[in-house]
Amino acid sequence: MDDLTRKRRVRGGHRASASKLVAKIVEAIPKANPEKDLVWLRQSQITLRDKIKMLKELDEQVIDILSALKDEDADEQLGKEIEDSDEAIAELERTLLQLDDALGKLGGQSLPLLTPTNLTSAEGNLDQSHVSISSAGKIIRAKLPKLRLRNFGGKICEWPEFWDGFSSSIDNNDQLSDVDKFAYLRGYLEGPAKSTIAGLSLTGANYKYAVELLKKRFEKKNAVQRAHVNKLMQLPAVYKERDTLRLRKLYDSCEANNRALKALGVNEDLYSAIAVPTIMEKLPEQFRLTITRGQNFLEWSMEEMLDAFEKELEIREAHNAVGTNSDREQERHERNSGIKKFGQHHHGTAAALLANETRELCLLFEEPQSRRLRGSERSEVTKEFGS
């Protein structure tokens, strides 16, 4: 069985399942009882949205395969495929709109149920409202800004941030049932994290079990600490002292991981002895010499190193803000000077050119001890290192 046939068969099964669900929803809506049918309708709403999302992905996969075919009727197949897919999805979305409307009427008030935005986007949005009662006894509902919660994909060092945000906005929300909380949780998970609870059906009883599974796998304090230390050790080096953008990125990454380790209660002395020398090696040589001059840098803690790093970086960023053009002119002058210096002796006759090249090759292969410093070079060395 080829890949196209297999994907069409899988999609056909999902379409048949979705059609049965739609028939049940359409039959249930006119005679729905708020006390008996509300939970089932919410579950059906979530399931139908999942089906629509899955069918759209399968449609795209089928269309990609058809677009790569070179058969004579490939264009005709592709057009028919797109038309059929659009009709099937449109029917499901119409039913979903009817279901949303029915739930709004049955629920009495609009609960923060799942929306396509917070299920499929990289960052979910939760609408939050603040309710207060005025002196006249009227209820005043103030609309607060949307909370943004990033999806969790299984990176162990991102678990504390994700769970703190999720528990604050959803897990501790008494207005949400466990079914709704579980639906939110599944919507915010992806990759390995989503696979951890993939076998659990969407029921209120399974929500707490799903949370336990996730905590068991990702809530490992020692592993999180090691992950942050590894991030510090594996940060990319910066080679140009004038590259303040990369220097800033390096500093921000160091600061973020250092703060995360402190929040986990890790003693700074435990990792400073390893992390500080490693990060210092990632700095440009001249930048490193500048921040360590006159300092007992061999005894620096992580905080002390970052403080010196930040002060020098801020000075350079301030100079770049007002001296960008002059810096560019200086770099251009240095490049031109290098070109002139290299080429100034290479004019004239062929004999002169050969003589110059021979002299340069001789200088290249001379032993360092046999080379004599010219007067100007000797002066430069004396100024740099002393007599």
Residue 152 DSSP one-character state: B
State the residue for tokens 């960052």: 123
Residue 36 binned pLDDT confidence (cut-offs 50, 70, 90): confident
Q: Which of 232, 244, 227, 225 is nearest to 315 (CA)?
A: 244
Which residues are within 8 A (CB) of 262 and not within 5 positions of it... i.e. 6 or more apart? 268
Cα distances (Å, whole numbers) of residue 303 to 267, 284, 307, 314, 338? 12, 20, 6, 16, 41
Mean pLDDT for 151-173 is 87
Question: With 50 as the cut, is the pLDDT of residue 139 above it?
Answer: no
Please report whether residue 253 resides in a domain.
Answer: yes
- Which pLDDT belongs to residue 118? 44
Please report whether residue 356 resides in a domain.
Answer: no
pLDDT digits (tens, 9 = 90+) for 47-67: 888 888 888 888 888 887 877
Mean pLDDT for 149-177 is 86
Please report whether residue 54 resides in a domain.
Answer: yes
Q: Are residues 12 and 72 in the same domain?
A: yes
Q: Are residues 38 and 92 in the same domain?
A: yes
pLDDT digits (tens, 9 = 90+) for 185-235: 988 899 999 999 988 888 888 999 999 999 998 888 788 888 888 888 999
Q: Are residues 185 and 248 in the same domain?
A: no
**Looking at 216, 231, 259, which one is the last position of a domain?**
216
How many separate domains does the chain show? 3
Question: With 90 as the cut, is the pLDDT of residue 287 above it?
Answer: yes
Q: Are residues 253 and 183 in the same domain?
A: no
Q: Are residues 170 and 247 in the same domain?
A: no
Please report whether residue 10 resides in a domain.
Answer: yes
Task: Supply the DSSP string of 54-97, one letter for each residue.
Answer: HHHHHHHHHHHHHHH---TTHHHHHHHHHHHHHHHHHHHHHHHH
125-134 own/partner pairs: CB under 8 Å, 24+ apart: 126/169, 126/170, 128/169
- Spatial distance between the Cα atoms of 121 and 167, rounded to a whole number of angstroms: 20
Q: Are residues 203 and 259 in the same domain?
A: no
pLDDT digits (tens, 9 = 90+) for 92-111: 888 888 888 887 777 643 33
State the residue for tokens 């008494």: 174
Mean pLDDT for 284-293 is 93
Per-residue b/e over 326-354, b at no fewer than 16 CB within 10 Å?
eeeeeeeeeeeeeeeeeeeeeeeeeeeee
Mean pLDDT for 287-293 is 93
Q: Are residues 265 and 295 in the same domain?
A: yes
- Which pLDDT belongs to residue 309? 93
Provide the residue range defining the domain that includes 168: 156-216
- Which pLDDT belongs to residue 136? 47
pLDDT above 90 as % of the chain: 16
Residues 170 and 185 sit within 8 Å (Cβ to Cβ): yes
Which of 58-72, 229-243, 268-282 is predicted least confidently?
58-72
Which residues are within 8 A (CB) of 182 and not within 5 positions of it... i.e. 6 or more apart? 202, 203, 204, 206, 207, 210
- Which pLDDT belongs to residue 245? 92
Please report whether residue 348 resides in a domain.
Answer: no
Residues 114 and 49 sit within 8 Å (Cβ to Cβ): yes
- Spatial distance between the Cα atoms of 73 and 376, rounded to a whole number of angstroms: 80
Q: What is the pTM of this model?
A: 0.43
**Looking at 196, 216, 236, which one is the last position of a domain?**
216
Q: Are residues 185 and 284 in the same domain?
A: no
Q: Are residues 251 and 200 in the same domain?
A: no
Q: Are residues 3 and 43 in the same domain?
A: yes
Beta strands in the chain (DSSP E): 123-126, 129-133, 139-143, 147-150
Tell me which of 265 and 304 has the higher pLDDT: 304
Task: Tell me the two tokens of residue 240.
Answer: 């140009």
Half-sphere exposure of 347 (CA within 13 A, CB side): 4
State the residue for tokens 């004038």: 242
Question: With 50 as the cut, is the pLDDT of residue 44 above it?
Answer: yes
Please report whether residue 343 resides in a domain.
Answer: no
Task: Tell me the two tokens of residue 353.
Answer: 């050119």
Residues 186 and 195 sit within 8 Å (Cβ to Cβ): no
Task: Tell me the two tokens of residue 75.
Answer: 């264009």
- Spatial distance between the Cα atoms of 94 and 5, rounded to a whole number of angstroms: 28
Residue type at 144? L
Return mean pLDDT, the chain.
76
Task: Tell me the two tokens of residue 171.
Answer: 């897990």
Please report whether residue 207 resides in a domain.
Answer: yes
- Which pLDDT belongs to residue 130? 46
Q: Which of 271, 313, 269 is nearest to 288 (CA)?
A: 313
Question: With 60 as the cut, is the pLDDT of residue 124 above it?
Answer: no
Q: Are residues 289 and 198 in the same domain?
A: no
- Which pLDDT belongs to residue 143? 52
- Spatial distance between the Cα atoms of 307 and 137, rounded to a whole number of angstroms: 54
Q: Which of 287, 285, 308, 286 is nearest to 296 (CA)?
A: 308
**Looking at 295, 322, 349, which one is the last position of a domain?**
322
Which residues are within 8 A (CB) of 296 and not within 5 positions of it... i.e. 6 or more apart? none
Please report whether residue 269 resides in a domain.
Answer: yes
Q: Are residues 10 and 100 in the same domain?
A: yes
